[in-house]
Structure 1
Amino acid sequence: MYRVSQEAVAGAPEALRLVSVTRVYGRGGADETAVRALDGVSLSLPSGSFTAVMGPSGSGKSTLLQCAAGLDRPTSGLVAVAGAELAGSSEAELTRLRRQRIGFVFQQFNLLPTLTVLQNVVLPLKLAGRKVNRARAVNVLTRLGLGERLRHLPAQLSGGQQQRVAIARALVTEPEVIFADEPTGALDTRSAREVLGLLAQAVRAYGRTVVMVTHDPVAASYADQVVFLADGRLAGTLREPTAEAVAERMTRLGAWDAAEEADALAASGAGV
């Protein structure tokens, strides 16, 4: 399994920075209780790294991803992607920054059913008003094993193939950071393993930074490091993770019971 050397990461520029980021939902009045989804989170991720974000249900994983990707605005704190601060940006500016510097891979693929594989992949370039480099898009799809599927519709592909298209779509804009939200949640074991390998390849072959939210310790073991959240706060970091070490840490955070940990370790033994 590919991992980025700590020496290389140490000298890499910063891809993502969060400083004292807080996100509060609700006003806390008499009829409403304020929920502090993120509570002063500070994080710095270097370019060319693969980070998994984990934590118990309600720990703030999805909120962290949404704030870091500019999909949600923090209540306070600073978020910067490749040196560009998101605070104070208008919606139009945020949209432009996301299209230029950020790629997304979601659990449900989010492919347009009436567009072919190639059309889905080049769509972000068209939306951003950028020149469509068809040869590059074909090259990316070919490297992801989809060179013979360019004219297929999403319904003609397996779940794993559709997720490959989503990864190609994220790569073709040459983003600084790719955010992946439970990217293997809808896949079988074999397809999940292939997709995780492709995300690692995005780091190795394309020099991208990947931030992946997951509940799966086996998926997290593909990352260079795992960042743990609990109650909206950072609860530790695990470098060069194994599925066993991740499962044990999640158990200590109270995320799982013993039966769930045993299932996770069994999946690890199956070689996912």
Structure 2
Amino acid sequence: MTEVLRLDAVSKVYGKGQGAVAALREVSVTIPGGSFTAVMGPSGSGKSTFLHCAAGLDTPSSGSVRLGGTELSGMDETRLTELRRQRIGFVFQAFNLVSSLTVLENITLPMRLAGARVDRAWLEEIVGRVGLAGRTGRRPAQLSGGQQQRVAIARALVTRPQVVFGDEPTGALDTMTARDVLRLLREVVDGLGQTVVMVTHDPVAASYADTVLFLADGRIVDAMTAPSSEEVAERMTRLGAYAA
């Protein structure tokens, strides 16, 4: 499998002197293409900082982040913005849709911001895969929460990104709707070869992934492949010892 994302000894420290807080401590991990990775850990373990550094939203204090062979450190904000627009997709807990735009306009927004041509065949495939055919003319307020998250997932996929980052993508959804969204993320990995990295606190959500990375006190302390929700939940209860 090709390597899509690589973190080498990434540390992130906020503040200086005695007030300094280490959010990440020499984290090294390789994410292969076409894989689904969940990142879990107690509150304050560094999950969000991991995602922000991996996605080029924040700059590590030390170490390196490579996306598809491109080194992110040393890039200025303009180049990082271009990279995120063209090569990274984002799905957040809050759907972050533009209420005045239609479903179709929300999905194609990244392309228009980048001044890129929309591939109509690809757009149709994405709309069909996320189950929004026939709803593309609606506004977000006319959709359920699950449908709005499907719009956000389609928007994340439309640029054919190298990796899609999910930040608690099912956190605002009820249990049944969350499972529909998780099945959809699983399908885009299996059916489209998409790479997905998802931060979550939910063992059930993590069980849809190929691999779960467990963070505690800013370090990756364990990893689990082919996880079940019961195994993940049990492992989470033992993370307290690392976080102490």
Cα drift, residue 44 of structure 1: 0.4
Indicate the residue corresponding to 2:189 in structure 1.
Answer: 203
Indicate the residue corresponding to 1:216 in structure 2.
Answer: 202
Structure 2 spans left out of the alignment, 5+ residues:
none
Indicate the residue corresponding to 2:171 in structure 1.
Answer: 185
Cα drift, residue 82 of structure 1: 1.0
Cα drift, residue 89 of structure 1: 0.4
Instruction: Answer whether contact 1:113 1:154 (CA < 8 A) is retained.
Output: yes
TM-score (normalised: structure 2):
0.97
Indicate the residue corresponding to 1:16 in structure 2.
Answer: 5
Aligned length: 241
**Which contiguous aligned blocks of 4+ residues in structure 1 show a shift greater than 3 angstroms?**
none
Q: In structure 2, how many angstroms separate the alpha carbons of the residues matched to 1:151 and 1:38?
A: 43
Is 1:132 matched up with 2:118? yes
In the TM superposition, 1:126-165 aligns within 5 A as: 126-165=112-151
Equivalent of residue 93 in structure 1, options 67, 70, 79: 79
In the TM superposition, 1:1-272 aligns within 5 A as: 12-29=1-18, 33-254=19-240
Instruction: Answer whether contact 1:118 1:137 (CA < 8 A) is retained.
Output: no
TM-score (normalised: structure 1):
0.87
Q: Which amino acid aligns with 1:18?
A: L
Structure 1 spans left out of the alignment, 5+ residues:
1-11, 256-272
Instruction: Answer whether contact 1:118 1:138 (CA < 8 A) is retained.
Output: no
Q: In structure 2, how many angstroms separate the alpha carbons of the residues matched to 1:98 and 1:85?
A: 13
Cα drift, residue 135 of structure 1: 3.8
Cα drift, residue 138 of structure 1: 2.8
Cα drift, residue 136 of structure 1: 2.4
Q: In structure 2, how many angstroms separate the alpha carbons of the residues matched to 1:84 and 1:100?
A: 13
Worse-matched range after superposition: 209-218 or 141-150: 141-150
Secondary structure at the counterpart of residue 202 of structure 1: helix
Query: Percent identity among equivalent residues?
Result: 65
CA RMSD, Structure 1 to Structure 2 (Å): 1.0
Secondary structure at the counterpart of residue 240 of structure 2: coil
Cα drift, residue 125 of structure 1: 0.5
Secondary structure at the counterpart of residue 108 of structure 1: coil
